[in-house]
A and B are shown apart, each in its own frame.
Chain A
Amino acid sequence: MSELFNRKPETGAFFARDRAWHPPAFTPGYKTSVLRSPQRALLSLDGTISEITGPVFGHSMIGELDNDLILNYARPGESAIGERIIVHGRVLDERAKPVAGALVEFWQANAGGRYRHKKETYLAAIDPNFGGCGRAITDEEGRYHFRTIRPGAYPWPNGVNDWRPAHIHFSIFGHGFAQRLITQMYFEGDPMIWKCPIVGTIPDKAAIEQLIAPLDWGNTIPMDSRAYKFDIVLRGRRSTMFENRLEGN
């Protein structure tokens, strides 16, 4: 499972998470959070080796079409219906260092806002050529990219008339288990973003802006696909300047 890179592994503990930047657990505007949010304070712990380490996945795991949602579920000769887009970006840490070898997984609804999931009951049609999942591993500069169709907005039973903005879910592994992150990417200019109770769980407008991918005209392929850029920042880590030696067991 491990992948060797030509550079010194990092062993520093992670910067403390800024939990005023992230959404708090209890956000009653997003109703399901009411009974799924811890009420007691978290127990804080400066990362030990259990948190500093984490799984790293090999590029060999990735199939040829894993980052092509237009084709990876489609029947031979067919493709998913919708606005063709490329999503690309870098995974960096808080020190702006690229995170190489990071597994990025993504999932989304189809062009009509319909998820391929048995619990989903929205009346918009399933696209027989669209599954909705993909994955990529970042290169040495932290870059990833995938091709997909732009997902549609979709209604959900929260308020009487709540709709999710168009979004793509992201799951990211850095190099330590404490960097584990799941988030959602939104699209530049979507007026639905500012009406959404899930977006609204994030208290700081600047933090919300960090989840909005701009249209990347420069990388748009003429007569083929538009492009959006979505950079992801994981927790940075200390440089182990005066840390206790972890091997001093």
Chain B
Amino acid sequence: MQELGYLKETPSQTAGPYVHIGLTPNFCDITGVYDSDLGTAMLNDKTLGERITVTGRIFDGAGAPVRDAVVEIWQADSAGLYNSPSEMRGAADPNFSGWGRCPTRAEDGVYSFETIKPGRVPFKDGRRQAPHISVWIVARGINIGLHTRMYFPEEAEANAADPLLSRIEHRERVSTMIATRDGATCHFDVHLQGPKESVFLDI
């Protein structure tokens, strides 16, 4: 019989407590190597769309904020297009990166992104997904990065029909993927473990 010849994916390891040295060196006072930390600016003055702030904290199983995590987000532009070579449906807003990176603060564990509300993108079968932001979390104690999504509370109708949210068997857990909103600020807390545990994805 022939062999398939596939390689195995390199196994994950924790990012550790000093992840900032590599991913956000200026944040931990290693200055002069990079001009700025990657992923701190997603927008400029010409970016199209509704400005929002996405902020929150990551909590461990004892309810303590995780103060040494790094959060990355990935999202479509206001028209629902991704700024990626694999986006075949059109050209995304050149003034929007779609990707951001932010460490949680050492004092209180808060992360924060200045971004825009994404447009809707299709599911594999063509149905429209509700507007969402993909979230990836790494930290000391997390052996493999955790993927989740943030949805918007004002999109109740789209959320109700969203192909991913619809698949959550225990309906009370849907709310763990939906931010709370206060004006332009979306609060999105993530609970790694316990009664309020967020839905994490194997994607």
Contacts and interface: CB of A to CB of B under 8 A. Distances in A.
Contact of B106 (A23, A119, A178, A244): A119
List the 10 closest pairs (A to B, CB-CB), nearest first.
A107-B22, A32-B141, A53-B84, A36-B141, A55-B99, A35-B61, A42-B202, A23-B143, A53-B82, A184-B13
A40 B164 CA distance: 17
A248 B122 contact: yes
Contact of B123 (A36, A48, A105, A198): A48
Interface string A1-24: 111110001110111111101111
Contacts of A50: 74, 76, 82, 121, 129, 132, 134, 149
B183 interface: no
Interface in B86-130: 86-89, 97-99, 106, 121-126, 128-129
Contact of B74 (A55, A115, A199): A55
Contacts of A3: 85
Q: Give chain B's interface secondary structure class.
A: loop
B45 interface: no
A72 B126 contact: no
B90 to A, nearest CB: 9
B77 to A, nearest CB: 11
Contacts of B129: 48, 50
Interface of A: 1-5, 9-11, 13-19, 21-25, 27, 30, 32-40, 42-57, 61, 63, 65-66, 72-73, 92-96, 105-108, 115-120, 131-133, 135, 169, 171, 175-178, 180-184, 198-199, 201-202, 206-208, 210-211, 232-236, 243-244, 246-249
Interface of B: 5-23, 25, 28-30, 32-35, 38, 60-62, 64, 66, 68, 72, 74, 76, 82-89, 97-99, 106, 121-126, 128-129, 132, 134, 136, 138-147, 149, 164, 167-168, 173, 192-194, 197-203
Given A66-B34, A133-B25, A9 B88 contact: yes
A61 B39 CA distance: 12
Interface SS of chain A: helix, strand, loop or mixed? loop
A51 B148 CA distance: 11
Contact of A25 (B86, B142, B168, B198): B142
B202 A17 contact: yes
Contact of B5 (A23, A43, A73, A96): A96
B55 to A, nearest CB: 21
A44 B28 contact: no
B23 A105 contact: yes
B18 A117 contact: yes
Contacts of B124: 13, 46, 48, 243-244, 246
A249 B126 contact: yes
Given A35-B193, A171-B15, A233-B8, A22 B143 contact: yes
A144 to B, nearest CB: 13
